[in-house]
A and B are shown apart, each in its own frame.
Chain A
Amino acid sequence: AQSVAQPEDQVNVAEGNPLTVKCTYSVSGNPYLFWYVQYPNRGLQFLLKYITGDNLVKGSYGFEAEFNKSQTSFHLKKPSALVSDSALYFCAVRSSGSNYQLIWGAGTKLIIKP
């Protein structure tokens, strides 16, 4: 079965420190991977995507993600966290069984402390 796992419900990071939000996936065929961010009581915003090419993908707000095929992972990273990065982060993978269905992770709450 195709799935996405975000193993951490919450990640706490001090401002200025590097952050990592983890995502692993299971999908048949080539994965198309996405990260979205959700601020409180708001819709989701696209951060970045991996389709093909370089394993390191750069996105909005200084975020980047590294695709690792052997570990089936797509971890979200940022070198220096800001308090304003505090939000809910979702990893998603396109299902090979449907052109319209994204498989979503359960989300990771990122808290950046000043």
Chain B
Amino acid sequence: SQTIHQWPATLVQPVGSPLSLECTVEGTSNPNLYWYRQAAGRGLQLLFYSVGIGQISSEVPQNLSASRPQDRQFILSSKKLLLSDSGFYLCAWSPLHGSLATNEKLFFGSGTQLSVL
């Protein structure tokens, strides 16, 4: 069966420090991968998605970047964190390569609570 791992679960970082959040998927190949941010336990904002190794699309201009060095690995990074980067970050995958087909659904990781102080 497929599983998604996201770590760390919680992270407290000072302003101006770097960030690296990692997400890996097991039990599938060629997944679509996503990074979302959830502010204050509410709505989801899509940050990045990837349909393949090295292919990253950004939905919102920001202080963050994403990389996909391997098929099932998705990394969210920042060189210098801002206070406004605080939030709950969710990694997700969908099983259909190439497009979010009409009958597909997302599978989410357990999330990382990031606090920037």
Contact = CB atoms under 8 A, between A and B. Distances in A.
B24 interface: no
Contacts of B46: 100-102
A99 B97 CA distance: 11
A51 B43 contact: no
Interface stretch (B11-19, B66-74, B78-86, B105-113): B105-113
- A43, A94, A104, A106: residue with the most chain B Cβ atoms closer than 10 Å: A43
Contacts of A27: none
Interface string A84-114: 0000101000100001111011110000000
B20 interface: no
A82 to B, nearest CB: 21
B32 A100 contact: yes
B111 A99 contact: no
Given A43-B110, A104-B44, A34 B105 contact: yes
Nearest to A88: B41
A41 B111 contact: yes
Contact of A51 (B41, B44, B103): B103
A45 interface: yes
Contact of A106 (B42, B57, B110): B42
Interface of B: 6, 32, 34, 41-44, 46, 49, 51, 57, 59, 90, 92, 99-103, 105-111, 113
5 contacts: A42-B111, A43-B92, A44-B44, A46-B105, A88-B42
